[in-house]
Chain A
Amino acid sequence: MRFDSLLGSLGHTPLVGLPGLSPSPEVRIWAKLEDRNPTGSIKDRAAFFMIEQAEKDGLLTPGCTILEPTSGNTGISLAMVARLRGYRMVCVMPENTSAERSQLLAMWGAKIHYSPAEGGSNEAVRVAKRMAAEHPEWVMLYQYGNPANARAHYETTGPELLADLPEITHFVAGLGTTGTLMGVGRYLREHKPGTQIVAAEPRYGELVYGLRNIDEGFIPELYDETVLTTRFSVPADAALKRTRELLDKEGIFAGISTGGALHAALGVAARAVKAGERADIAFVIADAGWKYLSTGAYEGTLEEAEERLDGQLWA
């Protein structure tokens, strides 16, 4: 495959079967390898679409500064595109994220503004909104509410999945900004009615839920409950266990949030087996494991890994 530039190679990622983890020939699980994107994660799709849209709308002009609350992949994707297009990039990131993320962001020239660990990304969003008010000339693309995020998946990820797996019955992905699930979910509901759209929401340690009161909670503006069939909460131990199973049984080296999505996919698969139904379940490998090596997720016993992960934003 030949492309004019790196950005041209966005998407068109492989969909691979998981013969070692699928319960039967009638109930099959498929993994979409989104780590095969330019910076190594599914976020390249959203970042590229959000920047393109902002350029089209005249919001972004050469020399502009992009501001984004992000603890990782979106920031890395935006920083890469910003570097190529001549924008400055400022990321607001919780301090309890892995060291690799800071290194990758700095590598592509992004400035990092740390927000307190307590409250996780809620706090990063709040700090970024405050900074945006102080710097009205900066452009906050705001992945949690930017329709171009979901549109990236409606226009690319969704059609790719249906072309490769016309018999798809379930789509499973991690729930964060909700962009992947909203975009792919809407596309599949329109083009393959009856497809079940399943969200896997990471359940963190208590620190992340340390709000001062419950009304400080956060729901991304992109989120539309009616697109989903159901939503599972996946604890860190289950996500870690599944991340290891992907390595052991399929040879796939994925990030920890992917273990969470696989956990939900296997749950859905088990229900199909119990009901005696055929199923073709596609789920998203959001990124590879490289950025999480320093968390110790892949070393020692599961209990040790889980302890090391406590209090970290693993997805």
Chain B
Amino acid sequence: MAIEVRIPTILRNLTDGAKTVEGEGATIAELITHLDKNHPGIGARLVENDQLRRFVNVYLNDEDVRFLGGIDAPVSDGDTVTVLPAVAGGAR
């Protein structure tokens, strides 16, 4: 088993158009490093100076990883990680 990572439209040019890819690692940081090996360039789009980029949101099983330890948040097999750009959203 691996960790399922959902990729937003804007980054799919780096995953050959794939909406979801699989990754490995014990933390979000390790997962991103692993992703970058298979999809070169994706790491730099998500992380800057060892922090998630300002307009990048990463959710571990639907919970924002910024509240779970940031890129050091632990992950394990079977988890789902969703990457989304920060947007203003809808009905305000």
Contacts and interface: CB of A to CB of B under 8 A. Distances in A.
A177 interface: yes
Contacts, number: 123
Highest count of chain A CB atoms <10 Å: which of B84, B85, B91, B92: B91
A112 to B, nearest CB: 14
A73 B66 contact: no
A212 B62 CA distance: 24
Given A119-B87, A218-B87, A232-B64, A177 B92 contact: yes
Nearest to A210: B9
A214 B91 contact: no
A122 B88 contact: yes
A313 B64 contact: no
A125 B90 CA distance: 11
A204 B89 contact: yes
B84 A203 contact: yes
B66 A202 contact: no
Interface string A171-205: 00001110000000000000000000000011110
Contacts of B85: 209, 211, 214, 216-217
B88 A220 contact: yes
B62 to A, nearest CB: 5
Interface centre among B62, B68, B82 (most CB of A within 10 A): B62
Contact of B87 (A72, A121, A143): A121
A214 B64 contact: no
Given A206-B9, A211-B10, A313 B91 contact: yes
Interface in B49-92: 53-57, 59, 62-64, 66-68, 82, 84-92
